[in-house]
Amino acid sequence: AQSVSQHNHHVILSEAASLELGCNYSYGGTVNLFWYVQYPGQHLQLLLKYFSGDPLVKGIKGFEAEFIKSKFSFNLRKPSVQWSDTAEYFCAVIHANYGGSQGNLIFGKGTKLSVKP
Amino acid sequence: DAGVIQSPRHEVTEMGQEVTLRCKLISGHNSLFWYRQTMMRGLELLIYFNNNVPIDDSGMPEDRFSAKMPNASFSTLKIQPSEPRDSAVYFCASNPTGLATDTQYFGPGTRLTVL
């Protein structure tokens, strides 16, 4: 069965520090990968996604993620975090079944990021 | 566009009572997903529909849970009878096409507390 691992449960950084959140998945076939963010008290929203092409994906608010197929990873990065980046970040993976229905989007357990001003 | 709409936003009920959560999709979207979020288990897919048809309900915890999509824009998730372990935030999400590459658009969630 597919699974998604986010290794860090809670990350605490100071403003301007660099961020890397790990995400590894277990499925060996073709996958689509997503990072969603949940700001305090708000609903999940898409940060970025990868389904083909350049493995380095740029998203909103200066975030980027790199798909490394050999490592089954899709780590999220940001060179300099801000206090407003305080949120919970979810990595998600789906089997890319282009011929049919979407299938099951599997989420990681999330990583809470706290940015100290 | 109003986005995905969920009601109620908060629900507090007593064990044994029936609970109905509601979701309105974004207009034109044809896939709908119900998720449950808890501290212990994170975000779990309960069930999803494509063109009003339930495609995968393997995430529904047990027979106490049921979901319907009576029309293309509206869905309900019912828990009967409710139990304290059902306490969680329940999210509904919709997707324009049902394709794997498409983004899911989440509603604000319903925070359910079962006493």
Confidence of residue A86 (pLDDT cuts 50, 70, 90): very high
- In the prediction, which pLDDT does A52 show? 86
Predicted confidence (pLDDT) per residue in A17-68, tens digit: 999 999 999 877 788 899 999 999 888 999 999 988 999 999 999 999 999 9
Mutation site, B9, B34, B101, B111, interface A, largest A CB count within 10 A: B101
Of B55, B103, B109, Cβ closest to residue A43 = B109
pLDDT tens for each residue of chain B, 115 residues long: 679 999 999 999 999 999 999 999 999 998 999 999 998 888 888 998 988 888 888 889 889 999 999 998 999 999 999 999 999 999 999 988 877 677 889 999 999 999 9
Compute the distance between CA of residue A27 and CA of residue A68 in angstroms, rounded to an integer: 13
Compute the distance between CA of residue A44 and CA of residue B91 in angstroms, rounded to an integer: 9
Of B56, B99, B106, Cβ closest to residue A43 = B106
Task: List the structure tokens of B71.
Answer: 């029309």
| DSSP-derived secondary structure for A7-61 | --SEEEEETT--EEE--EE---S-EEEEEEEE-TTS--EEEEEESSS-SEEE-GG
